[in-house]
């Protein structure tokens, strides 16, 4: 029996890119391509109208930039997974996008099969980050001037359990299932630990935690 489809739209000012992604998505039964927009303003309106499960978003667009589009999409408080799909491997772009709540950051030169694999990871509640992007993100967080204060933060046992699962890329629903607590309680713990660390997103928390564990094991 085929799993239910996840709806997806793309916001990108290159027609060939939009068509290529549309064709690629039709090859994956897990996803259903439902719309496209050529600029940020139209993309936000389309997202509000369709409420897609996934939004693929380009950064470099005329008019409203991809970063500003991301911020506007987050303001709407919809539950869409927003994944940056861009040519930019600029460290500042990666850090800023993830800090503003992007669920992933993919580069356009990746293999089509790899892109589908990353989308499936997000559908399973994980982050969509290439190894190169993960390395650059970790480097950016290491250079953050709040690093020392973060190392001194004290979490409750439950907050630590939640943070460890965020680092694994689990959604609130999956965290609640593993810890045998209700999802609303998980949301409270996530809010508290993000405030303690001064993180702007759970993605930032995940990458920072992974990098810290890596350094501790050296």
pLDDT by residue (tens digit) across 28-55?
889 999 999 999 999 999 999 999 999 9
Phi first, then psi: give them for residue 83, nearest 5 degrees: -120, 120
Q: Check residue 208 and give its pLDDT.
A: 79
**Average pLDDT value over all residues in the chain:** 85
Contact criterion met (CB below 8 Å) for 171 and 125: yes
32, containing H or E segment: strand 31-37
CA angle 104, 97, 149 (to 5 degrees): 105
Yes or no: is domain 145-216 CATH 3.40.190.10? no
CATH topology of domain 6-139: Rossmann fold (3.40.50)
Q: Check residue 148 and give its pLDDT.
A: 63
The rounded distance, in Å, linking the Cα atoms of 81 and 69 is 14
Tell me what percent of the residues of the chain surpass a pLDDT of 70.
Answer: 86
- 3-state helix, strand and coil shares in percent for the chain, rounded to the nearest 5: 55, 15, 30
Q: Check residue 10 and give its pLDDT.
A: 96
Residue with tokens 């907050």: 159
Q: Check residue 40 and give its pLDDT.
A: 94
pLDDT single digits (tens) 77-123: 678 999 999 998 887 788 788 778 888 889 988 888 889 998 998 88
Map out the domains of the chain as residue ranges: 6-139, 145-216
The rounded distance, in Å, linking the Cα atoms of 79 and 28 is 22
């Amino acid at each position: 029996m085929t799993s239910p489809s996840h709806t997806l739209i793309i916001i990108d000012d290159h027609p060939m890119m939009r068509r290529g992604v549309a064709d690629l998505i039709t090859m994956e039964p897990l996803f259903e391509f439902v719309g496209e927009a050529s600029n940020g303003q139209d993309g936000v309106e389309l997202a509000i109208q369709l409420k897609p499960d996934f939004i693929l978003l380009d950064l470099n667009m005329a008019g409203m930039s991809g970063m500003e589009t991301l911020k506007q999409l987050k303001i709407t408080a919809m539950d869409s997974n927003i994944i940056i799909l861009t040519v930019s491997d600029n460290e500042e772009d990666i850090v800023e996008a993830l800090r503003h709540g992007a669920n992933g950051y993919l580069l356009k030169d990746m293999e089509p099969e790899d892109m589908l694999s990353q989308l499936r990871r997000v559908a399973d509640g994980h982050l969509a980050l290439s190894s190169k992007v993960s390395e650059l993100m970790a480097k950016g967080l290491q250079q953050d001037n709040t690093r020392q204060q973060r190392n001194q933060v004290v979490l409750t046992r439950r907050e630590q359990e939640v943070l460890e699962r965020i680092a694994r890329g689990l959604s609130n629903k999956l965290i609640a299932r593993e810890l045998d607590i209700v999802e609303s309680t998980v949301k409270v713990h996530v809010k508290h630990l993000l405030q303690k660390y001064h993180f702007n997103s759970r993605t930032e928390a995940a990458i920072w935690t992974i990098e810290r564990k890596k350094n501790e094991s050296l």
